[in-house]
Amino acid sequence: MQTRRGFLEAAAASCAGVALAGLPFEAAQAKSPKLAAQDLGGSLALITGAGANVLAFGSSDGALLFDGGTAGNSKALLKMAPRAVGAKRIHTLVNTHWHPQQTGSNETLGKQGVPIIAHENTRLWLARKYINVDWAPKPFLALPKVAQPTKTFYLTDELEFGGEKIAFGHLGQAHTDGDLYAYLPRANVLVAGGVVSSKGWPLLDWQTGGWIGGLVGAYDRLLKVANESTRVVPADGPVIGRKELQAHRDMYFQIFDRLVKQLIKGMSPEEAYATAPAKEYEAQWGDSHAFVIASFKSLWGHYAPDA
C-alpha cells in the first residue's frame, strides 16, 4: 500500500498546474523550502512557507505549535520553529483541522511522544481508511496511529502553557467539520486556522463537512472572541484584525445569500456561478470559480438533503 507521504508527494507532482486557493496538497514540496519566521513578540513567532501558517509559542518547557505544515516541509519547520521562540524542543502540537498542510508534522512528533491536540472530528478524519474529496486526484490515506491526535474535545477546551490560559473552541461545520480556534488572552492572539484566509479564497471542503452557511457562522464565533486589538492568525496570508474579520464575514454572507436563492430556483452549480455571485470581490480575491462551485455544492446537504 502506498504511504501517505508517498501519495502526497505524487499528488503534488500531478497537480502542480492546478490553481485553487487553499488547496491542501504538498504543492510546496521544494527541496529547499523557503521558510521564514516573523517575530510577533511575547515569545510568539509566525512561521510562513511551510505549506500553511504556523504559530509557534515558546516557554521554558518548549514550543507549542499551532499546525505543523506539510510533510515535505516538516523537517525544516521543526528545526526553525523552536529556535524562533527560544525553545529547545517541541512541547505540544495543535491541528486546527485535518488537511495535510496542518498535519504534516504529526508522524514525526507523534513518534517523539509529543501530545497532539485537535477537535474529535479531525481525529476521526485522520483515522479514516481513506478520504475521497473532489479536490484531490486520489483518496488521502489514514495517518498511522502514532500520528493521530492524542487529546481531543467536542465544544471547548483549555490548556495552560507559558503563562497563558489558552481557550480552544469548535467552529462547527465551516471549512471542514473539525475546525477549531485557539485564543491566547494575554497576547490577544486568535489562531483561526483554515476558516480564515487573508490572501485568497479558502478551500471550502464540503465533502468533509464544510459549508458556506457554517463558514459565516464560524466568523460570527470568531468575532465574539476577538476585540479591536486582537491579532488574528489565518491559515494563509498575513495576520489581520477584527475589522478584516468582519469584512470577510459580510462578504461570505452576501455570497451565501445569493447562492441559496439560485439553489431554490433549481440551478446547477455552474448555472449559479454564471450569475456571478462573487464578481465584485474578485478584484481583491481572484477568480472565484472553485470557491463558488464548492459553496453551492455545500448547500445540498442543508437545503436539499434528499436530492
Contact 53, 37 (CB under 8 A): no
Domain assignment of residue 283, yes or no: no
How much is the average pLDDT of 267-283?
97
Nearest Cα neighbor of 77 from 132, 117, 30 is: 30
Contact 289, 275 (CB under 8 A): no
- Looking at residue 306, its pLDDT comes to 61
Strand segments, DSSP code E, in the chain are 36-41, 44-48, 54-59, 62-66, 90-94, 116-119, 130-131, 140-141, 151-153, 156-161, 164-170, 180-184, 189-197, 231-236
Contact 233, 55 (CB under 8 A): yes
How much is the average pLDDT of 247-263?
98
For the domain that residue 71 is a member of, what is the CATH number?
3.60.15.10
270 pLDDT tier (thresholds 50, 70, 90)? very high
- Looking at residue 137, its pLDDT comes to 86
Domain assignment of residue 10, yes or no: yes
- Looking at residue 136, its pLDDT comes to 84
How much is the average pLDDT of 264-280?
97
26 pLDDT above the threshold of 90: no
CA distances from 190 to 96, 106, 155, 163, 216 (A): 12, 22, 17, 16, 17
**Which structural domain range is residue 105 located in?**
4-257
Cα dihedral sign, 275-281-286-290: negative
Percent of the chain with pLDDT over 70: 88
- Looking at residue 5, its pLDDT comes to 37
- Looking at residue 14, its pLDDT comes to 31
Give me the DSSP letters along 125-160: HHHSSEE--TTSSSPEEPPPGGGS-SEEESSEEEEE
Domain assignment of residue 278, yes or no: no
Domain assignment of residue 264, yes or no: no
Q: What does DSSP assign to residue 240?
A: B
101 pLDDT above the threshold of 70: yes
How much is the average pLDDT of 160-186?
98
31 pLDDT above the threshold of 60: no
Domain assignment of residue 130, yes or no: yes
264 pLDDT above the threshold of 50: yes
User: Chain-wide mean pLDDT for the chain?
Assistant: 90
9 pLDDT above the threshold of 60: no
Cα dihedral sign, 229-233-234-236: positive
How much is the average pLDDT of 140-154?
97
How much is the average pLDDT of 151-170?
98
Total domain count for the chain? 1
Q: Higher-confidence residue: 1 or 147?
A: 147
- Looking at residue 4, its pLDDT comes to 38
Contact 230, 190 (CB under 8 A): yes
Domain assignment of residue 28, yes or no: yes
Biggest CA pair distance of the chain: 59
In sequence order, what are the residues at sequence separation of 6 or more whose Cβ sits closer than 8 angstroms to the Cβ of residue 188? 227, 229, 230, 231
Domain assignment of residue 41, yes or no: yes
32 pLDDT tier (thresholds 50, 70, 90)? very low
1 pLDDT above the threshold of 50: no
pLDDT in tens, 213-227: 999 999 999 999 999
Nearest Cα neighbor of 105 from 135, 63, 168 is: 63
- Looking at residue 140, its pLDDT comes to 93
Helix (H, G, I), strand (E, B) or coil at 26: coil
Residue 193: CB atoms within 10 A of its CB come to: 30
Domain assignment of residue 304, yes or no: no
pTM comes to 0.89
pLDDT in tens, 104-126: 999 999 999 999 999 999 999 99
Contact 182, 94 (CB under 8 A): yes
Grid cell listed for 213: 452557511
CA distances from 129 to 104, 268, 280 (A): 17, 31, 41
